[in-house]
Structure 1
Amino acid sequence: MKDYDCEKLLGLPKLQIGIGIGLIFVSVISNIVVLLRSRFPVPGFFLVMVPLIVMLTMGLALVGANKLGSRRLMATPVWFKEKVRNNDNWENIKSCIFTTGTCDDLVSRSWNLKAYDFSIKKLSSIESGCCKPPSICQMDYVNATFWTKVEGAVDESQQQYSDCATWQNDRSILCYNCGSCRHGFVRVMESKWMNLGVLLILMALLLIIVHILLFVMVMWEHYN
């Protein structure tokens, strides 16, 4: 799995290592049960089902498909939103995004683009949310991180346009304090961990089906 900038601030690399160790454990248990299937069919079946159900539950939580996606369970959609909602956490994340030079890289890649060309350029969620004002602000493009406000284009006092008032052309400020920047960071993190969740679900379901069929086959041989 790709390691994203600033992910370490949330302790996610440790979770990633833990899941990797867990997958190795499941693999070892699964193979032991297969090798000893004729001697211990029932204990072996229940022994392998426990970690597989835990694995399936973890996958469902990571994709936000059950109520386990809570504030306490790391890397779930609810957990990510809670983390960026905390201003102390966000200050550290925001500083990290600035330090990594994400917006500076965007400028260097698009310095010669006209407004239309930039509008169709594919941006990451963090680039779109933190380096430029939201499209609803209807600002005039000068370059990737410099935009001019159009008088009367939007009512910045309204909640949905609050990011328009927050935006500044200062390279150290830009839209780092915007809600769109927080949402962009969450989308990047969610995308990675949802993909892992899908992988865990598919692997767990496959192994559960295989071990159920194996158990039925062994019991059939025993009693037939």
Structure 2
Amino acid sequence: MRTSNHLIGILNFLTFLLSIPILGGGIWLSTRANNTDCLKFLQWPLIIIGVSIMVISIAGFAGACYRNTFLLWVYLVVMFFVIAALIGFIIFAYVATDKGSGRQVPNRGYLEYHLQDYSGWLKQRVSDDSYWGKISSCIRDSKACSKTRRTYGGGTPETADMFYTRKLNPLQSGCCKPPTECGYVYVNETLWNPGGGLTGVNSDCTKWSNDQQQLCYDCDSCKAGVLASLKKSWRKVSVINIVVMIILVIVYIVACAAFRNNRRMDNDESYGEATMTKSHPSRFQL
């Protein structure tokens, strides 16, 4: 019986440790939301799941140490729903970011992003005018575009050929420069002059502005860049969550078996022996 209690205590301690990467992933998404991705509600389900696992693990650990069957039962029931919520979050993250990716551009090192490549609830959320105003303001405040500027050899700005070979992140590519098909002529990373390109084909061509507070923040390519950045962030966190979820399921199955064994041994004890053991536990109990 003590072995069963010790096993349940160890398993609860393990689930407590597993809550740390889940909570860390939610906090990381929160920092991304504040500084890069600018979508501020997606991290909260993960943070809530991580905190819930941490709290119920402590309850389960206490139940194992003090042989409180009720706490162990609550632990198993709540952990079942938490694991189900984690599985639901993983599925949602993959479904919401299933479609869409960057397109290769001839003679360019960076990818470009098109809003029509994306679909679903997340696209509608990002594209909503009232919500996009907050997102674009966040991108502007994060100085994402000013960070694209580079100088060489004591202050010499990079040339167009140097810029074209760079690996820009989705926000830099979608929000900080005009689409290549528009035919704008490079001056520096965030300053482009009109050229002889296909300015009538892509609506973003007329939305580009050299105003450093405007740039392409109203462009569909910027919205697509946000979606691509979110997809990249969510997929990184989801990989960790899948690993943790698999371990949690294994731990939960073992904990259920240990809990049943504990109940069975309780039922096999005589009433007087169980009461005496609980009231006056012996250090030499086997």
Is this a same-fold pair by TM over 0.5?
yes
What does residue 178 of structure 2 align with?
A: 133
Q: Does 1:93 align with 2:122?
A: no
Could you tell me how far apart the structure 2 residues matched to 1:29 and 1:205 are?
22
Of 117, 121, 124 in structure 1, the residue corresponding to residue 169 of structure 2 is 124
Q: CA deviation at 1:52?
A: 1.4
Q: Report the TM-score, using the length of structure 1 for normalisation.
A: 0.72
Q: Is the 8 A contact 2:126 2:132 kept in 1?
A: yes
Describe the SS at the equivalent of 2:248: helix
Q: Is the 8 A contact 2:96 2:121 kept in 1?
A: no
Matched residue pairs, number? 208
Of 88, 94, 99 in structure 2, the residue corresponding to residue 57 of structure 1 is 88
What does residue 246 of structure 2 align with?
A: 205
Structure 1 residues 174 and 116: alpha-carbon distance in aligned structure 2, compared to 1, 3 A threshold? same
Structure 1 residues 157 and 50: alpha-carbon distance in aligned structure 2, compared to 1, 3 A threshold? same
Root-mean-square deviation (CA, aligned residues, Å) is 3.6
Same amino acid, percent of matched pairs: 27
Could you tell me how far apart the structure 1 residues matched to 2:216 and 2:56 are?
44
What does residue 200 of structure 2 align with?
A: 157
Could you tell me how far apart the structure 1 residues matched to 2:61 and 2:213 are?
54
What does residue 225 of structure 2 align with?
A: 184
Give the unaligned 5+ runs of structure 1: 67-76
Of 131, 146, 166 in structure 2, the residue corresponding to residue 104 of structure 1 is 146
Structure 1 residues 168 and 126: alpha-carbon distance in aligned structure 2, compared to 1, 3 A threshold? same
Q: How does 1:3-42 map to 2 (within 5 A)?
A: 3-4=31-32, 5=35, 10-12=40-42, 14-15=44-45, 17-25=47-55, 27-28=57-58, 31=61
Runs of 4+, deviation exceeding 4 Å: 6-9, 12-16, 29-37, 42-47, 108-111, 213-223
Describe the SS at the equivalent of 1:147: strand
Q: Report the TM-score, using the length of structure 2 for normalisation.
A: 0.59
Q: How does 1:65-80 map to 2 (within 5 A)?
A: 78-80=120-122
Q: CA deviation at 1:7?
A: 5.8
Structure 1 residues 192 and 45: alpha-carbon distance in aligned structure 2, compared to 1, 3 A threshold? same
